[in-house]
Amino acid sequence: MSTAVRLSSTRRFFAIFLLSALLVAGVGSYYASTHPDGLNFVAHRAGFGDEAKASPTSDSPFAGYSTKGIGNQRLSGGVAGVAGCLLVLGIAGGLFRVLRRREPGSANAGAGPAHGPPTTSGL
Amino acid sequence: MHVPDGFLDAPTSIATGAVAAGGLALALRGARRELDDRTAPMAGLVATFVFAGQMMNFPVGAGTSGHLLGGAMAAVLAGPWTAMLCISTVLLVQALFMADGGITALGTNITLMGLVGVGVGWLVFRAVRAVLPDRLGSVAPAAAVGALLSVPVAAAVFSLLFAVGGTAPVSSEKVFVAMVSWHAVIGVGEALITFLVVASVVGVRPDLVYGARSALRARALEIRGPAPAAIPAAETP
């Protein structure tokens, strides 16, 4: 296993993973379908779509995945996507940092069998 | 599948809010067992990736689209309890900053995508893994099957909630059939994306994939026999 693990350093893997998320949100999302999603589509077809109320946060700077004050659609959506990613990363990353087991360099860092197979912590 | 405010009445929204709060309380406890120094940053990135993935609506025909929910993907990559927190964080940011999904509907959305989507995705993944050989190659296909089923089941649960507390006098059977059939199609996209992402991560860093742990252990035993310290302790970022 150790050879496979060393092929790519953890730090580099994380950087690539983050970069791909930012690229999808910041660049790729411009090319996303603008059709209503399944729920909205069904809601309008079935006749309850008009029950939807505008979100109380619809005047937030990134409402609707576009950035207030940026006219260029591509840039506006890209900035909102990247901002959203960073917000999620900050909140989730911070939460998981607090929740994690801290292992002071002990023998079983990582997925040690001391915590049982994934089966025991499953739902 | 982000439910806006106004689709469900107040009692139903309060009930799903309570379910979401209870689920998150359990997830906060469960995630402690899943997260360590290496997997905590991974899990934060999984949440980020799901946010990005949810922006990529793909067309599914007849003027409608679908997007990744990410429950099965997050569960397989980060562990089921952690995944519930990942998806819930994504939904929180979307509701608060992107005006995507309602505020009174946040509990509903967390219940549908965070609890049901993750729960179904993980349980189906586990069931498929139990049938397939315990190898790394089984992880992505099993994740894809979990993803495939998680979407229509979440849609079915929405339809049940709408039958109980929908605000418009609409045939709940009609809503159920339409929701489940459209989301069965969207589930195919979910399965495809989940397969590609999970297979990619398993391909380069299987040690960071929660759902690959047993396969990695099985492989280590096969290759090296009873080797001490199967996982290198020095591998920190």
Q: Which of A117-121, B117-121, B209-213 has the lowest mean pLDDT?
A: A117-121
- Locus of tokens 């603008």: A34
d(CA A113, CA A118): 9
Instruction: Answer whether residue B165 is part of any domain.
Output: yes
Residue B232 domain flag: no
Closest to B214 (Cβ–Cβ): which among A25, A36, A118?
A118
pLDDT-derived band of residue A74, with 50, 70 and 90 as boundaries? very high
Q: For residue A14, which phi and psi values (nearest 5 degrees)?
A: -60, -40
Helix (DSSP H) and strand (DSSP E) numbers for chain A: 5, 0
Query: Which amino acid, residue A87?
Result: L
pLDDT at A46: 93
The mean pLDDT of B36-40, rounded to a whole number, is: 94
Q: Does any CB of chain B come closer than 8 Å to the CB of residue A15?
A: no
In a domain, B234, yes or no: no
Band of pLDDT at residue A114, cut at 50, 70 and 90: very low
How many angstroms separate the CA atoms of A70 and A82, rounded? 14
What is the mean predicted confidence (pLDDT) over A6-31?
91
The tens digit of pLDDT for each residue in B172-223 reads: 999 999 999 999 999 999 999 999 999 999 999 999 999 999 899 888 877 6
DSSP strands (E only) in B37-179: 58-61, 64-66
Given the structure tokens 């591509």, which residue do they identify?
A: A74
> Does a structural domain hold residue B233?
no
> Mean pLDDT across chain B, nearest whole number?
94
DSSP, res A113? G
Query: Distance (Å, rounded) from C-alpha A41 to C-alpha B4?
Result: 13
Amino acid at B45: L
Q: Helix (H, G, I), strand (E, B), or coil: what is residue B110?
A: helix
Using the predicted structure, report yes or no on whether residue B127 has a pLDDT greater than 70.
yes
Is the pLDDT at A122 greater than 80? The verdict is no
First-to-last CA distance in chain B?
A: 36
Torsion of CA B119, A92, B9, B100, to 10 degrees: -110
Tens-place pLDDT, residues A88-98: 999 999 999 99
Residues 6 or more apart whose Cβ sits within 8 Å of residue B141: B128, B132, B195
Q: How far apart are the first and last CA of chain A?
A: 28
Residue B237 has pLDDT above 90, yes or no: no
Q: Phi/psi of residue B231, each to 5°?
A: -115, 125
B39-55 helix and B71-78 helix, angle to the nearest 10 degrees: 170
Q: What ipTM goes with this model?
A: 0.91
Instruction: Tell me the pLDDT tens digit for each residue of B104-113.
Output: 999 999 999 9
In this predicted structure, what is the pLDDT of residue A101?
Answer: 87
Torsion of Cα atoms, A122 then B192 then A27 then A93, to 10°: 10
Inter-chain CB proximity B231 and A111 less than 8 Å: yes
The CATH number covering residue B114 comes to 1.10.1760.20
- Between A110 and B98, name the one with better pLDDT: B98
DSSP string, B175-222: HHHHHHHHHHHHHHHHHHHHHHHHHHHHHH-GGG-GGGHHHHHHHHHH
Residue B150 has pLDDT above 80, yes or no: yes
The answer on pLDDT for B228 being more than 90 is no
The answer to whether residue B196 neighbours chain A at the CB level (below 8 Å) is no
The total of structural domains in chain B comes to 1
Pair B213, A16: CB distance under 8 Å: no
**C-beta of residue A103 within 8 angstroms of C-beta of residue B36:** yes
Q: Quick check: is B200 in a domain?
A: yes
Distance CA B149, CA A70 (A): 39
- pLDDT of A117 > 90? The answer is no
What average pLDDT does this structure show over B61-80?
96
* B5 domain-assigned: no
Chain B residues in contact with A29 (beta carbon < 8 A): 52, 55-56
Q: How does residue A121 score in pLDDT terms, banded at 50, 70 and 90? A: very low
pLDDT for residue A6: 52
In a domain, B1, yes or no: no
Give the confidence band of B13 by pLDDT, cuts at 50, 70, 90: very high
**Cβ separation B45–A99 shorter than 8 A:** no
- From the list B45, B49, B58, B44, the residue with the least C-alpha distance to B192 is B58
Two tokens, residue A106: 């002990």
Is the pLDDT assigned to residue B82 strictly greater than 60?
yes
Q: Is residue A5 predicted with pLDDT exceeding 80?
A: no
Residue B27 placed within a domain: yes
Q: Give the max Cα distance, chain B.
A: 65
Choose among B162, B152, B216: nearest CA to B187: B152
Cβ <8 Å between A100 and B155: no
**CB proximity under 8 Å: A 67-86 to B:** 80-81, 83-85
Q: How many residues does chain B have?
A: 237
Alpha carbons A102 and A100: distance in angstroms, whole number = 6
Q: In which residue are the tokens 């946010």 written?
A: B51
Chain A residues in contact with B32 (beta carbon < 8 A):
99-101
Print the domain residue range for B137.
10-224
Q: Per the CB < 8 Å rule, is A65 touching B47?
A: no
| Overall average pLDDT of the B33-45 stretch | 96
Tell whether B232 lies on the interface with A, counting CB pairs under 8 A. yes
